[in-house]
């Protein structure tokens, strides 16, 4: 158990295991993009991805830029149809670049699916997703995830 801001939470994955898995994700990403010949951009979805993004950037040895987006998903009631509002957009043009969206947790997939759609319209050379924790049992929208740290089976 760990105390965070007066709340006690159970540690589900030990820190050493998280660090090892992020190092492995970095190795996979390096291997995949090492001969791409294109600029690479890691796009962190704020605010949740910030710490994971920093750790992942230390492991990605392929030359890359870092950029951030903030998106908000909203809808009426229990509807799975959600509108996504971009609160902070990318600072750089991604046309012709290898883009890796970095997210901490993928749950319903609603916001991430829309962000992926928005970014694909900007004509990147490639577009992939990396997450620290994937929760496929909670998915409402099918979204391809190329790099997964941990998968929650419950």
pLDDT: which is higher, 77 or 145: 145
Kindly state whether residue 19 falls inside one of the protein's structural domains: no
Range of the domain at 88: 39-151
- For residue 84, give the CATH number of its domain: 3.40.50.2020
pLDDT, position 6: 66
State the Cα–Cα distance between residues 11 and 22, nearest whole angstrom. Answer: 17
Domain count, the chain: 1
Q: Which two tokens stand for residue 3?
A: 């105390």
Q: Who contacts 142 (Cβ-Cβ below 8 Å, separation ≥6)? A: 109, 113
Q: Which two tokens stand for residue 119?
A: 């970014």
Active-site option among 104, 107, 134, 152: 107
Has 107 been annotated as catalytic?
yes
Residue-wise pLDDT for 23-47, tens only, equals 999 999 999 999 999 999 999 998 8
Residue 7 φ/ψ, nearest 5 degrees: -115, 140
Average pLDDT over residues 100-123: 94
CA-wise closest residue to 40 among 127, 91, 99: 99
Kindly state whether residue 24 falls inside one of the protein's structural domains: no
- Could you tell me where the beta strands, DSSP code E, fall in the chain? 2-4, 7-9, 40-46, 65-74, 83-88, 98-106, 126-134, 147-151
- pTM assigned to the model: 0.88
Kindly state whether residue 31 falls inside one of the protein's structural domains: no
**5 has a pLDDT exceeding 80:** no
Average pLDDT over residues 41-69: 95
pLDDT, averaged across the chain? 89
Sheet of strand 65-74: strand arrangement: 83-88, 65-74, 40-46, 98-106, 126-134, 147-151
pLDDT, position 80: 47
pLDDT confidence of 85, banded at 50, 70, 90?
Answer: confident
pLDDT, position 12: 81
Could you give the 3-state DSSP secondary structure of residue 11?
coil
Q: In terms of DSSP H, where are the helices of 34-130?
A: 50-59, 110-120
pLDDT, position 93: 97
């Amino acid at each position: 158990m760990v105390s965070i801001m007066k709340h006690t939470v159970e540690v589900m994955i030990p820190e050493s295991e998280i660090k090892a898995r992020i190092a492995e994700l970095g190795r996979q990403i390096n291997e995949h993009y090492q001969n791409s010949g294109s600029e690479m951009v890691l796009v962190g979805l704020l605010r949740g991805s910030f710490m994971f993004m920093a750790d992942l950037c230390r492991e990605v040895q392929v030359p890359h830029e870092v950029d951030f987006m903030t998106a908000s998903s909203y809808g009426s009631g229990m509807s799975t149809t959600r509108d996504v509002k971009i609160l902070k957009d990318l600072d750089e043009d991604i046309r012709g670049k290898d883009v890796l969206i970095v997210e901490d947790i993928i749950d319903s997939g609603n916001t991430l699916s829309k962000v992926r759609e928005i970014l694909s319209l900007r004509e990147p050379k490639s577009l992939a997703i990396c997450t620290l924790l994937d929760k496929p049992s909670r998915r409402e929208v099918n979204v391809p995830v190329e790099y997964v740290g941990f998968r929650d089976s419950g």
